[in-house]
Amino acid sequence: MSQLRVEKPSDASQPRGDERIYGPGLQVGYQLMKAGGFTFMLSVGVGHTIGGPSHLQGTAGLASVGLGYTWRGR
């Protein structure tokens, strides 16, 4: 499950926080791991909200970028 939408309260005096809506998503992407350990990941996709208020239901775009280092055992 991915967080797909966030609704801010329209009135700042409301005691409750943001409304967060989740749902399943599907992403495709690319991952590069160099011999020195540098790792880069990029993906895009789409998700669909489940539950929550009707005005927040629907489809949302997803995107991910990752940078890191991969340790390899010898």
pLDDT of residue 8: 75
Phi then psi for residue 55, to 5 deg, are -75, -10
Reported confidence tier of residue 7, pLDDT bands at 50, 70, 90: confident
User: Are the CB atoms for 9 and 35 separated by under 8 Å?
Assistant: no
Report d(CA 21, CA 53) in Å as an integer: 9
pLDDT in tens, 24-71: 999 999 999 998 999 999 999 999 988 777 777 888 899 999 999 998
pTM of the complete model: 0.67
Q: What is the mean pLDDT of residues 1-18?
A: 72
CA dist list (Å): 53 to 13, 22, 36: 20, 12, 48
Query: Which DSSP state fits 40?
Result: E
